[in-house]
Amino acid sequence: MRKIAEKIAFVAFVCLSVFFAVLATMYVTVGLPGDGWNNGGINIALIIVADVVLAGLAAYLLYEKFSSHMALKRLLLYCDSESTTSANKKVVASVVNGCAKHVDGVKVRKTKITADDKQGFVLTLHVTACGVAVQKNLDKLRCMLTTAFEETLGVRFNGINFVVDKLSSRYSPDLPTADEQAETLADGRRQADDFYDDPLGKYNEKTADNDEKQTDGEKQTDYATLQTQNDSSEFDAE
């Protein structure tokens, strides 16, 4: 429903913008019909109403665009007709830090809670990572956080996102293997370039090499096979 209202407001905003653009163009080029802003021309009250509606639509679209991405200070846990239970951002951060202590190479620097379009919440963590298996450590932390929030606060986030702000990697690349792979790629690229430059010549060279590798016995066998085929053709003709 929220998305539909936003689309309707956007269409109305575009229509009013086009109307004012056409009106301004007419005023600059040919002038306004009738007596201009007097009673015989365009009603000034209509212009004022259109201005107010356009300003309201612009404010609504800006609010819908940025309000859903604003960080929340409280996390709604449970609510009914009689009471509401929520958790402060510090409580969420304490659960996050408690889980992050058990993951090597990951340190949480900032915790952010936002609302999404599914009537739920998204947890975004800004972290610093070190080591090699960064993705594995983040997946481990995500699983721990999912279980911890379900068991302690009884809440499940629609998404847990990570933003790696700093990476201190101790990974040492295998230079000899990388050199061999690069040389193999370069050889394949050179062969492809040579083939595209002279494809017929490369085909003739390949055919000549195959003829040279063929033994005398194989050549005699091929000649006998060809002679047999010719004899069969002559017999059929008779």
Instruction: Please tell me the predicted confidence (pLDDT) of residue 118.
Output: 79
First to last CA, the chain: 88
Measure CA 191 to chain center: 36
Instruction: Please tell me the predicted confidence (pLDDT) of residue 237.
Output: 46
For 73, residues 6+ apart whose C-beta sits below 8 A from its C-beta are 88, 89
pLDDT in tens, 145-161: 999 999 998 889 999 99
Contact predicate 123/92, CB 8 Å: yes
pLDDT of 56 higher than 90: no
Q: What angle do CA 67, 70, 71 make, to 5 degrees?
A: 150
State the Rg of the chain over Cα: 38
pLDDT category of residue 126 using cuts at 50, 70 and 90:
very high
Instruction: Please tell me the predicted confidence (pLDDT) of residue 209.
Output: 59
For 20, residues 6+ apart whose C-beta sits below 8 A from its C-beta are 50, 54
Sheet of 159-168: strand order equals 106-115, 121-130, 159-168
Per-chain mean pLDDT for the chain: 76
Single-letter amino acid, residue 108: V
pLDDT category of residue 231 using cuts at 50, 70 and 90:
low
pLDDT of 19 higher than 90: no
pLDDT in tens, 185-217: 888 887 777 766 665 555 556 565 555 555 554
In the Cβ-directed half-sphere of 28, how many Cα atoms lie within 13 Å? 6
Q: Residue 170 gets which letter from DSSP?
A: -
Higher pLDDT, 123 or 116: 123
Q: Which has the minimum average pLDDT: 33-47, 69-83, 96-110?
A: 33-47
Measure CA 221 to chain center: 62
In the Cβ-directed half-sphere of 207, how many Cα atoms lie within 13 Å? 6
pLDDT category of residue 236 using cuts at 50, 70 and 90:
very low
Mean predicted confidence (pLDDT) in 47-60 = 79
